[in-house]
Amino acid sequence: MINPKVSIITVTYNAEEVLAKTLDSIRKQKYKNIESIIVDGGSSDGTLSIVNKYSDIVSKWISEPDKGLYDAMNKGMDMATGDYVWFVNAGDTIFKTDILNHFFDSDFVLRDIYYGDTLVVDEKGNHLGGRRLKPKDDITWKSFRWGMLVCHQSILVKKEIAPRYNLKYKIAADYEWVLESFKRARYTRKTNHKVACFLRGGLSQKNILRANYERFKIMKKYYGFFPSLWYNFLMLFRFAYTVTKLGRI
């Protein structure tokens, strides 16, 4: 059994309607060697009053303007003192109260990455099912040519290898962050349990065309132009098939 410190980073902006359930899921964790970090973008609603209500679990927080979501996530990494960073932003929740125990209790050496699947929920918390893309046990950075196999909500990355979010990407920087994390990792471990619940309607879903354009630029950087063109064509075909035949995204 190992006992690493986990920094759970939550980015907020005018999130008074969804932040409490995120912090509740952190409070319920049976694993106690965690720090909860809030990075607020200068909210004008009741977000900070909610943060103060959870002062028993929030280790540190800041509230100041930022350059967007990924700038705030970089700030969170700068504030983190844990062995691992884990991004669970406002509206997202941790699925199991013992997921960290599941990762660490049976391990005798720290992996570079721990990861699993993500459950999609709506604004009322209703489960909408798993994501279309499922992470496998043996994925590597090359696996991400097929898309975003692991959401940032469901991956713990050792801080010493965690990259910075590239601020030139406004929508898909998390795709590159996860891809680059796997490229730097030597030892990873997947759980068959759901790790987190992702609130439907994130940046990439609201800006699909921009997200696809940025993702292609990232793929071209890592895999080359023509292979990326081919994989994007296959992904588009698979997406269309899933929507028309199975009725879901």
CATH of the domain at 100: 3.90.550.10
Helices and strands (DSSP H and E) totals, the chain: 8, 9
pLDDT score of 108: 81
Judge whether 190 lies within some domain: yes
Per-10-residue mean pLDDT, the chain, length 249: 93 97 98 98 98 98 97 99 98 95 88 94 73 80 91 96 97 96 97 88 66 91 84 64 53
pLDDT score of 232: 72
Confidence (pTM) = 0.89
Nearest to 72 by CA among 9, 19, 160, 23: 9
Q: Is 164 helix (H, G, I), strand (E, B) or coil?
A: coil
Which stretches does DSSP call E strand in the chain?
A: 6-12, 34-40, 58-63, 84-87, 93-94, 113-121, 127-130, 155-158, 188-199
Judge whether 236 lies within some domain: no
Judge whether 244 lies within some domain: no
Judge whether 221 lies within some domain: no
Residues in the chain: 249
How far, rounded to the nearest angstrom, does the alpha carbon of residue 79 sit from its chain's CA centroid? 17
pLDDT score of 204: 54
Retrieve residue 87's tokens: 């991004």
pLDDT score of 205: 56
Judge whether 247 lies within some domain: no
Judge whether 249 lies within some domain: no
Judge whether 40 lies within some domain: yes
Q: Rounded distance, CA 92 to CA 125, Å? A: 10
pLDDT score of 245: 57
Domain that holds residue 59: 6-214
Judge whether 136 lies within some domain: yes
Residue 127 phi, psi (nearest 5): -75, 125
Retrieve residue 61's tokens: 């927080």
Domain count, the chain: 1
